[in-house]
Structure formats: structure tokens, C-alpha cells
């Protein structure tokens, strides 16, 4: 039994490490490039933590390396106390002005914010690039204009639309996918409408074309929604370069919004923290996506890149968002947050991050029945 668990988990390792390495490299590359652009000296660029496995030193005296524990990475800048970019106060006190100018802390508040924000920004840029490539090559996913649900007392309900109907035209404008409906329906608020549908009889499988009419008005108020949902049958529509990018940006925004909403619901107790997933969950998703093909794997990579960028922007000390908060406070006060206050904040932030990791790990162990297997050893 133990061997089967180990073999099962090991199958997730390669796709997981592949995806994670790409995301971490891009994130840290964002920090690195903007830091170098602003004249900050970089001491270490590491993929992974712990002892170095192999690496090299470039002409700028930066050590590029792969480390033993492949669960993240970091860029250590000159004058930092550790990989979390916490300033080394004692080392800074002994530096000359010329040396201080090579540190992150020796830069303006705006430059420091740019360096810190560059990591999450790089993850969002990666996601937009990957999604845009998918949209240009495969098309933009959308739904066929077949009705899956009709809200009660909606405009659609009042004019006789039922689940299973396929809308083929709206106000004489041909409809081929659900995205087109989302664009043209709101413009008809308060107006008379004509909806042409194809209805298939369940018993005979014969279809007929019908024209339904009505008004986009309810209780004397103009309405901008029919009150319908798609059936779920997905298709891909062709997209140009600009459409691909704008759709990708909107997708990043929507994923970020929904993730923040879910986290907020967990914090206030309206949503279970059991939904959090850790290394094994991500590995399982990576394995599943790899098995489904390169499109699924690229889409997963894009979604994980969005979430990595978003999570790092959370205002938690030790994360990029926490640094941005400190620098913003410094900009408002005209002086840095005291070293003691930062130290306390870093400690609290570390406990928060470790706590989230512990919950995610516990969920993984329960989800993959490792906890039940361990308990079985004692029964």
C-alpha cells in the first residue's frame, strides 16, 4: 500500500516541477530585470531553496543556481539580510554611500515599489502571453447559444424561451455563440425585441424555427438581461491579435476577482478552507492537464501564474505585497517604518504564510487519503 501511494504521488512530480519552475523563474526574473535596470546589485538568483545543486556566476558577479528544495525561488539583492528581501541593518550601517547606492534600500521609494511589484507583474504578463497564444492558435472559448437555464419571471421566461432552445438571431442579427448575445442584448434595454430560436422536440428530435417577441421591460423598468444561461456546450471562435490580448487581460482580471472573493469568504467563514490545495493538488492538476494535452497544460500554467502573482500581492509581510505596504507608508510618512516594527510584521507575516501552507498541506494529505492510510497503520 505504501509503495502504491509513493508511486502515485511520484507521477505528479515531473509535471508539477516543470510548471512550478517556469512560474518561479518568470516571477524572480521580473524582480531581477527591474532591479538591475534600477542599478541594484544582485548577489543570488536561485530556483529552489537550501543547498546548491549546481550553478554558475556571471560577469556581474551574480550567482545563478538550482537548489535542493524545488518549491520556490528567490533573488537575493546586495544589502538584503535574507531571501525575503528584509534589509540587513547592521551591514547597511557599515556601508559607504557608494555601496548603499547598489542596494534596494538605497533607491527611491518608487524604484523599490517597481522592483517588488515586478515579480507579480511578470506572472500576469506570462499569463496574458500564454492565453493570447492559445486564443490566436485555438480560438477564444465560448458557448454555443443553446439555453441551459431560464430564470423565473425573467424576460426570456415571459416571451416563452425554454431550456434547450438555440438562439439563431436576435433582432434579425445572426447569433453564432453566447459571447455575441452578451454584447447585443444589453443594447436593447427597454426596447421591443425579436428572438429567433431553433427548438428541438424531445420526443421526435425534430426541430422547428420560431420567432418570439416581447419587450426588454419588467415592472415598467428597462432590463438589460434576458435571464438565460448557456447549456455548457463549448466552442472556439476565431480571434484577432487585439481581441486575443483584451480577452486574456479580462480573463486575468476575472480569475483574480474570483480568487479574492473566495479567500474573503474563507476568512469570514462563509466558505470552507478545505478548498485550499497544496503541492499534491497542484501536482495532480498538472498531471491531469499534461495527459489532456498541451492546451490544457498551458491553460493551467496561466491560471497558476495569475494566482501566484495575486497571492504575492497580498499585503502580508514577507510577501511582495507586504513590502509594497511598507514602502507606501514610507512615502506617506517621509521616513521608513522602524526596523523593530518591520521585524514584528515579518514574524506575523511568516506565521500567516506558514499557517496557510499547513492548512493546504493537511487538505492534500486528507484529499489523497494519506491521513487515512497513516491512521490505518495504528489500527
Known catalytic residues are 28
322, burial (CB in 10 Å: exposed 0-12, middle 13-18, buried 19+) = buried
What's phi and psi for 63, nearest 5 deg?
-90, 115
Give the H or E element holding residue 374.
helix 370-377
Which residues, in sequence order, are CB contacts of 151 under 8 Å at separation 6+? 157, 227, 228
Nine cell digits for residue 219: 415592472
Cell 532591479, residue located: 35
> Considering only CA atoms, which of 262, 238, 223 is closest in space to residue 177?
238
Say how far apart CA 343 and CA 352 lie, in whole Å.
14
Residue ranges in the chain assigned as alpha helix (H): 2-37, 89-93, 97-100, 109-137, 155-159, 178-184, 241-268, 279-292, 294-312, 320-333, 339-367, 370-377
Give the H or E element holding residue 214.
strand 207-215
CA of 72: how far to CAs of 68, 149, 308, 363, in Å? 11, 43, 11, 20
Q: By the 8 A CB rule, do 123 and 27 touch?
A: yes
CA of 26: how far to CAs of 103, 302, 320, in Å? 22, 12, 15
Say how far apart CA 117 and CA 327 lie, in whole Å.
11
Nine cell digits for residue 48: 529552489
Which residues, in sequence order, are CB contacts of 348 under 8 Å at separation 6+? 317
Amino acid at each position: 500500500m505504501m509503495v502504491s501511494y509513493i508511486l502515485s504521488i511520484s507521477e505528479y512530480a515531473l509535471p508539477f516541477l516543470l510548471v512550478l519552475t517556469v512560474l518561479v523563474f518568470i516571477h524572480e526574473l521580473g524582480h531581477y530585470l527591474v532591479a538591475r535596470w534600477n542599478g541594484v546589485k544582485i548577489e543570488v538568483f536561485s530556483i529552489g531553496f537550501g543547498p546548491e545543486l549546481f550553478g554558475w556566476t556571471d560577469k556581474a558577479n551574480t550567482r545563478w543556481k538550482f537548489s535542493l528544495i524545488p518549491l520556490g525561488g528567490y533573488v537575493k539583492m546586495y544589502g538584503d539580510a535574507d531571501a525575503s528581501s528584509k534589509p540587513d541593518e547592521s551591514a547597511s550601517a557599515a556601508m559607504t554611500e557608494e555601496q548603499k547606492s547598489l542596494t534596494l534600500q538605497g533607491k527611491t521609494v518608487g524604484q523599490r515599489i517597481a522592483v517588488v511589484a515586478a515579480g507579480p507583474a511578470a506572472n500576469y504578463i506570462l499569463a496574458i502571453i500564454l492565453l493570447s497564444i492559445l486564443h490566436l492558435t485555438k480560438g477564444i472559448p465560448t458557448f454555443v447559444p443553446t439555453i441551459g437555464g431560464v430564470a423565473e419571471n425573467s424576460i426570456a421566461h415571459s416571451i416563452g424561451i425554454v431550456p434547450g432552445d438555440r438562439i439563431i438571431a436576435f433582432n434579425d442579427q445572426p447569433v453564432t455563440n453566447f459571447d455575441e448575445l452578451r454584447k447585443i442584448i444589453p443594447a436593447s434595454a427597454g426596447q421591443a425585441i425579436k428572438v429567433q430560436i431553433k427548438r428541438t422536440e424531445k420526443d421526435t428530435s425534430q426541430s422547428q424555427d420560431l420567432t418570439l417577441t416581447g419587450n426588454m421591460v419588467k415592472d415598467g423598468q428597462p432590463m438589460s438581461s434576458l435571464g438565460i444561461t448557456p447549456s455548457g456546450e463549448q466552442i472556439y471562435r476565431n480571434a484577432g491579435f487585439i481581441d486575443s490580448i483584451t480577452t486574456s487581460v479580462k480573463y486575468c482580471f476575472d480569475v483574480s476577482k474570483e480568487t479574492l472573493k473566495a479567500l474573503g469568504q474563507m476568512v469570514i467563514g462563509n466558505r470552507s478552507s478545505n478548498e485550499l490545495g497544496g503541492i499534491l493538488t497542484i501536482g495532480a492538476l498538472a498531471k491531469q492537464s499534461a495527459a489532456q494535452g498541451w492546451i490544457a497544460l498551458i491553460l493551467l500554467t496561466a491560471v497558476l501564474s495569475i494566482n501566484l502573482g495575486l497571492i504575492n500581492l497580498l499585503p502580508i509581510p514577507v510577501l511582495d505585497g507586504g513590502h509594497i505596504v511598507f514602502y507606501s507608508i514610507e512615502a506617506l510618512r517621509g521616513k521608513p517604518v522602524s526596523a523593530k516594527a518591520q521585524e514584528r510584521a515579518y514574524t506575523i507575516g511568516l506565521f500567516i504564510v506558514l499557517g496557510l501552507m499547513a492548512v493546504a498541506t493537511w487538505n492534500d494529505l486528507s484529499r489523497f487519503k494519506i491521513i487515512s492510510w497513516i491512521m490505518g497503520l495504528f489500527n
